[in-house]
Amino acid sequence: MADRFRITLAQLNPVVGDLTGNADKARAAWEQGRKAGADLVALPEMFITGYNAQDLVMKPAFHTAAIDAVRKLAADCADGPAMAIGGPWLEGTELYNCYMILRGGQIVSTVFKHHLPNETVFDEMRIFDTGPLGGPYAVGDVRIGSPICEDAWHEDVAETLAETGADFLLIPNGSPYYRDKFETRLNHMVARVVETGLPLIYLNMVGGQDDQVFDGGSFALNPGGELALQMPLFDEAIQHLDLERGDTGWRILPGVEHSHPDAYEQDYRVMVTGLRDYMAKSGFSRVLLGLSGGVDSAIVATIAADALGPENVRCVMLPSEYTSDESLADAEAVAEALGCRYDYVPISEGRAAITRTLAPLFAGTEPGLTEENIQSRLRGLLLMAMSNKFGEMLLTTGNKSEVAVGYATIYGDMAGGYNPIKDLYKTRVFETCRWRNANHRDWMMGPAGEVIRPNVIDKPPSAELREDQKDSDSLPDYPELDAMLEILVDRDGSIADCVAAGFDRATAQKVERLIYMSEYKRFQSAPGPRLTKAAFWLDRRYPIVNRWRDPS
């Protein structure tokens, strides 16, 4: 019997729908494993299709093509180590989330996912059929158990594999980021190791897909829960891992343990990765955004510069008569510090023309919110015109606080293709700006140093759509607002919970009303990277029309 076993772990970034490109990545990883003398090359869950492919997987032409791509991959990788790769599998009329073992030119084993997640961003019960509890598969004389992602969060699959002779557990994952998720994963995996007494290898993918960012961080645990390997967060990586059989069974030989950054850095990396991959995978290379002189557009410009390079970011100041000299100076300073292109496009003439056009209809009415929003919508029109003309994706810049209560103009400042800060509350925007000014990493393509000058961060927030306007004229101060939003949105709490936390009942009721009234805006809003378990889109699905209000 073999006393050593080598696995090549391929923590890679697939592209949803790119069957050929994903197969090429798998083949390249297999080549590295073959040269390193690996017995098995392992790739993550649903790697051949990319993840999360949602209802695309159910399309017969697509899942048939994916299975054919795996069969071709098996034939191409016949002479060398076995390969384990995730993808769809069809048995009769039933479609499974499957982990396929390729060896000798054939698909020799299939493992079907048993626990299908049907919460947060996952809808696997509408896509896949539930697989049976099964046993391990063999690679040579080594027996490997592979609970697929969610299966490892439940004790029954791992226990069944241990009882049926698995030597160790290799868990393929498509596990997207949310803040502090690594500790949750680690705790679940330690539990599986303690319950089964088996070594465990957790293999996760990396990269952005729509609103989700897969953060990698693959790791390995020995019996007792001792960490034997920790791969980097967010980066593609190939790691050769060795197991050795001793008197007490298999153990993983110690490998490199990459340290993890703090939550602010992880969130910022997610926003940069989410934008970078959304652009690359959708075929764009350049962006533009309205740079107002405020903190939100400043951090979005910085994220864009770090994701794409300053030379691929166009910042546009679109001033009106309400734009302060302070904002003009701040916007230009941010663009200059980042090294981005800066364009100056006043909206006064266009706004006057629209006002004259509407004057006969609006005669006898008082100017108000309608006139304010014309400014925002005119800016959206001009930015979209530039986007069309120059082939640059327009970024929106609304933070989660504004998105939550609808403090944004639909078809105006909400216009655009992607929103890097959609899941970042305003108070956290301020701190993220300070963090970025103080920190620079090699994965950032923008310059180091203070790129957002303190005045941008410290001045009172304002939309500048009327004279002396402040956000606090319409909303509670952001620390108070964000604390209530965390209760009502992130924790799905009640008005009573807000009151118990010390907030005024009437203010909490106003915030709740704004949240529900703004659902139609969010339904039409641009996607953005998920940072929390309560991001707007798949995490939180509410009806657009809804008369219920919390009576507590």
What sign has the CA pseudo-torsion 247, 251, 255, 258? negative
> In angstroms, rounded to a whole number, what is the distance separating the alpha carbons of residues 130 and 149?
14
CA nearest to 342, candidates 280, 380, 376, 297: 297
- Active-site pick, 45, 124, 402, 512: 45
Residues in CB range of 481: below 8 A, 6 or more apart: 401, 405, 426, 475, 511
Phi-psi region of 283 (alpha: psi -120 to 50; beta: other; left: phi over 0): left
Is 149 in the active site?
A: yes
- Residue 370 near residue 376, CB atoms below 8 Å: no
> In angstroms, rounded to a whole number, what is the distance separating the alpha carbons of residues 398 and 461?
12
> In angstroms, rounded to a whole number, what is the distance separating the alpha carbons of residues 84 and 170?
10
> In angstroms, rounded to a whole number, what is the distance separating the alpha carbons of residues 26 and 43?
7
Is 400 in the active site?
A: no
Residue 202 phi/psi, 5-degree rounding, is: -110, 110
Residue 16 phi/psi, 5-degree rounding, is: -55, 125
Residue with tokens 């400043």: 298
Sheet holding 237-246: strands in order across?
Answer: 106-112, 94-103, 82-91, 40-42, 4-11, 237-246, 249-252
Is 340 in the active site?
A: no
> In angstroms, rounded to a whole number, what is the distance separating the alpha carbons of residues 198 and 191?
11
Name the E strands within 318-425: 341-344, 393-394
- Active-site pick, 98, 149, 315, 340: 149
- Active-site pick, 25, 113, 281, 400: 113
Residues in CB range of 193: below 8 A, 6 or more apart: 199, 200, 221, 222, 223, 224, 225
- Residue 379 near residue 318, CB atoms below 8 Å: yes
In the Cβ-directed half-sphere of 477, how many Cα atoms lie within 13 Å?
A: 4
Beta partners for residue 207, in sequence order:
214
- Residue 475 near residue 407, CB atoms below 8 Å: yes
Q: Which residues are catalytic?
A: 45, 113, 149
